[in-house]
Structure 1
Amino acid sequence: GSGLVTQPLAFSDDGRDDLFTISFGAAQDFRNNPLRPTSGYLMRLGIEQTIPVGSGSIFFTRLRGSYSYYIPTDLIDLGFIEEDQPKPQALAFNVQAGTAFEDLPPYEAFVLGGSNSVRGYEEGELGAGRSYFQATAEYRFPIIPAVGAALFIDYGTTIKSQRSVRGFPGTVRGLPSDGYGYGLGVRIQSPVGPIRVDYGVNNDGDSRLHFGIGERF
C-alpha cells in the first residue's frame, strides 16, 4: 500500500560497493573562543565527490554548509562574575543544510536525529534523506565557574527527500522525516572541552538523554 518498488541497497551485483571519495572544505572562523564561544561566527562549506571506479561504479556529489552565530548576553545576574570579566552567557544559533546529486547509496544518505542533530530523537530516528535542513538555538549560561547549562531547541527536516534515496530506508522504517526537540543540558568543563549531557524531548513527547564532548557548534 506504500507504492514503493523494491530496490537493492547496493549498486553492485554482488551487494558490495567500492566508494572512492575526494573531499574539499573551507571555513571562516571569527569566534572569540573555539571551545566556549560567546561572540562572533563560524561558517563552513564542504563538497564531496566520488570517483566512479571499482565495484558499483558510484558517482555522486554531496554539498554541505553550516553557519553558527553567537551573541553575548546577560539575561541572568551571575554574582560570581566580576564586572570587568567577559560575559560567559550567550545565545548561540546554528543553521545547516546539505544535498546530494546522482547515485546516492542509502548508507550515504543524510540521517537526522540524535546528539548532534535533533535531540529528543535517537541517532538516525528522525529521517534519512537526499537533502536536509537543520536549525538550533541555545541559551548557554554558567551555573558555577566550571559547570554550565544550556536551554535548547532543535529542528530538522529531510525536505521531503526520503523517497529519493535508493531503497527508501527512511520510508521503509517509517521515519517521520521532520520534527523538533527541546530540552536542557549541562556542560562540565574539562581539558578536552565541555562534557555535554543533554535531556531532550521530541515533538511526539518521547525523551532521550544524550552525551557528547565539546559544544555542538
Structure 2
Amino acid sequence: LPKDVEQEVLKAARKSQNCTVRVLATAKNIVEGYYTSKGLTFGTISHFDGMENGEVIAHVVEGEITRVQAVFVDENLQPMPGNKGVTHPRVIQREHNFKVGKLYNVEDAKTALRDIFLLQLFDNVQVVPRPDERDPSKIEVDILLRERPTKTAETELEWSIAPGENGRPDLVSARPGGSVFFEHRNLDSWGRQLFGSISTANFLEPQEDLGFKLEYNHPYCKGDADSDKTSFKAAAFNSRKLSPVFTGGPLIQDVPGIWVDRAGIKATVCQNFTKQSKCSLGMVLEEVTTRDDSGAVCASGAKQLPNGSLSLDGPRTTLSDTGTDRVMFLQGNVTRDTTTFVNGTQVGARDIFQIDQSIPFWPKRPIFNRSKVELTRFVQLLPENKKNSLPPPVVVLHTRAGHILGNCAAYDAFALGGPHSCRGYTVGELGAARSLLETAVEIRLPVPVLKTHGFLFWEQCSDLSSSSALSGNPTEFYRRAGKGSTHGVGIKLGPVRAEWCIDNNSGTASTYVRFGERF
C-alpha cells in the first residue's frame, strides 16, 4: 500500500473531530478502491482497533499467496485419486504468474486461463482462490484441470460418383476420397505435440493428388525459465494448390488451370515477446512441380484462342524447363501486434515483416530474395461508451508492399486481387508481378440495433510496372490490367462479412459473403 494512499486516508480523517462510522467507511473505501483498481481483489480492511483511545489501527489483508497447486479433475470435476494427471506439473507452472509470497491478482488469473487453454491439453480450466485454513488472511490458489484425450484420430470419407460409359455410375467410377487426421497432444507428458493429416480425392489411386502434413512442436525448447517461450517446429509436407498467377482477366474467361505441388520439409524456431508479438526463423527445403488439370507435369501456361484451340506457348511455370524446381531458403518473420478489442472491434497497430532468402545449395539453383511488409493501424475515433456495448467508430489504414530480387518463379510471384488484396476482384484477376503496392482505407461505424459495425472502404493495388520482369509476362499474356481499385460498403455479422464492391476498372458491382477479417 503506497504512502500517498495512507496520506489520503489521514487527510479524510482529519476533516472530522470524532472517529465516526462515516470516517471508518471512508477509509475503508479509499483503501479497498486502491486494491480493486490494481486487480488485487482480496485486498481489504478486515477490522479496526483503537477507537476508544483515539489511535485507530486499520488491519489490512492483502491476499498473499501461500500455495499454488494444479488439481487434476475427472469428468465430474472431482479430484483425481492421488492428483495424478498425464501432464507434468511444470508444464502448467510455466504458464502462470502465481508465486508464493506474491499478492493474488485477478489479471494473473485471466492470463493463466488464456495461456493454459492455449496449450490445447485441457478442455476445462478454472482458477479457484480460497482462504488458507491455517491463516485466513492468506490465499491458496487451486488450478482445476480436466485433461483432453492425449491421442485422437478422425476419418472423413467422401464418395465422388462419376458416370460411366453408359451414363450410369458403376464400381469403376465410384471413387472414395477423404482425409485422415491424427494427433498426439502430450508427448512424454511435457506438452510436445505431433500432428499428421493425409487427404486425397481417390483412395484407390492416392498417388494422383495425395496431400499430407506431419508436424512436431516442441515448446520451451530453451528451458522452462525462457521468458520468450521459444519453440521449435519441424514439418514434412506435400500440398497442391491452384495457382492464381495463371488466371485469366476479364477478357479471357476459360484458362486451363495450373496446379502447384509442393513437397518438402521445414524447421522453424519461434520466440513470443508478448501474446501477439513474435518473431520466427525457419529453413525450407522443397520440390515444386507444376501440373495441368489432368495431373501431368506442365512447364508452361496455356490459353484458349478464338478458334477454340489452345495456345501452349504461355509463360513458364517454373524456373527450369522441366516443370520442377528444387529450392532451399531461409524464412524470417517479425510481427509487432499491439491490437486489443473494444466491444468486438480491433483497436491498435499491427506490423508484419517477412523475408525469404534462397540458399544455392547446388549449382544452377535459383537465387532470390523475396520480402514484404504490412502496416495496419486501427484508429479509434471516439472513446468507448460505458453505457452500452456498441463498438466505437474506427478508421483502418492499411499498406502492403513487396519486392522480389533475383530469380523469380511464377508460382512465387505476388498475385493482385482477391479478398485479402483488393476486394471486388478474384484472386489474381489483376495480375502477377515482382513488386506490389496495396493501400486500403476502411471506416467502421456502429450499428445500434445489431450491436455490430458497418463499414465503407476504398482499396487499390498496383504491380508498379513490374509484371514485364516476370518470365513470359503472365499479366500481359492473360490480358490482365496490372492494377485496379475498388470501393464499397459492407456489414459484419459475427464471423461473416457481407460486402458490396464496385470494380473501378470495369464499373461493375458485385456482392460477396466472406468469413473472417479483412485485415
TM range (shorter): 0.7 to 0.9
Query: Any residues of structure 2 matched to 1:23-34 within 5 Å, and which?
Result: 23-33=331-341
2:462 paired with 1:134: no
2:453 paired with 1:148: yes
Q: Is the 8 A contact 1:72 1:87 kept in 2?
A: no
5+ residue gaps, structure 1: 75-80
Matching residue of 1:12:
320
Change (3 A) 1:85 1:195: closer
The count of aligned residue pairs is: 203
Q: What is the aligned-residue RMSD (CA, Å)? A: 2.6
Q: 1:97-142 CA deviation, whole Å, 9 max, x = no partner?
A: 0000000011111011111111111211112110010001001123
DSSP 3-state at the match of 1:19: strand
Structure 2: distance between partners of 1:133 and 1:83: 41
Q: Is the 8 A contact 2:452 2:492 kept in 1?
A: yes
Q: Is the 8 A contact 2:490 2:499 kept in 1?
A: yes
Change (3 A) 1:207 1:161: same
Question: Which 4+ stretches in 1 moved above 6 angstroms?
Answer: none
Change (3 A) 1:96 1:7: closer
Which range moved further: 151-160 or 44-53?
A: 44-53
The structure carrying a bigger helix percent of its residues is 2
Query: Any residues of structure 2 matched to 1:68-79 within 5 Å, and which?
Result: 68-73=376-381
Offset, 1:42:
0.8
DSSP 3-state at the match of 1:63: strand
Which range moved further: 49-58 or 112-121?
A: 49-58
Matching residue of 1:207:
509
Offset, 1:211:
3.8
TM-score scaled by structure 2? 0.36
Structure 2: distance between partners of 1:36 and 1:68: 17
The share of aligned pairs that are identical, in percent, is 25
Structure 2: distance between partners of 1:177 and 1:34: 38
Structure 2: distance between partners of 1:53 and 1:206: 49
Which range moved further: 152-161 or 114-123?
A: 114-123
Q: Is the 8 A contact 1:91 1:138 kept in 2?
A: yes
Query: Any residues of structure 2 matched to 1:1-217 within 5 Å, and which?
Result: 8-33=316-341, 36-53=344-361, 57-73=365-381, 82-83=386-387, 87-143=391-447, 144-189=449-494, 194-203=495-504, 204-217=506-519
Offset, 1:38:
4.1
Structure 2: distance between partners of 1:19 and 1:34: 44
Structure 2: distance between partners of 1:55 and 1:16: 16
Structure 2: distance between partners of 1:199 and 1:180: 14
5+ residue gaps, structure 2: 1-312
The one-letter amino acid paired with 1:100 is I
Structure 2: distance between partners of 1:35 and 1:56: 55
Structure 2: distance between partners of 1:86 and 1:56: 59
